[in-house]
Amino acid sequence: MEETVMMQAIMGLIVHSGNTKSECMEAIQLAKKGRISEAKEKINMANEALTEAHHSQTALLTQEARGEKVEVSMLLIHAQDHLMNAITFRDLAQEMIELYEHIKGE
């Protein structure tokens, strides 16, 4: 895989995963204040960012499936770690919003 394309995919993973986590943190803070509908909007935005992160990951997986070597580097491992953390954070944020919604009685 061309180094530039590889770097774009890795940076896409990192950036979009980071955006996912940020949107989720904002969603939790909104839910904490009782602003549940806004929190759910933030989760939707997080899901969009997560989809973009998955597109970056898919580009790498597709190259590997085609038989093109994808060099595993610390940066790639770091990017994958960001993605996995973003997914976990999104799942927990959704649960927390549901809890706040239940507590607030909406």
Is residue 106 scored above 70 in pLDDT? no
Is residue 95 scored above 60 in pLDDT? yes
What average pLDDT does the chain have?
94
Q: Kindly report the CA angle at 59 between 57 and 61, in degrees rounded to 5? A: 70
Residue 13 burial (CB count, 10 A)? 27
pLDDT on residue 1? 63
pLDDT on residue 105? 80
By annotation, the residues acting in catalysis are 78
pTM above 0.85, yes or no: yes
Q: Which of 2-6, 18-22, 74-78, 85-89 has the lowest mean pLDDT?
A: 2-6
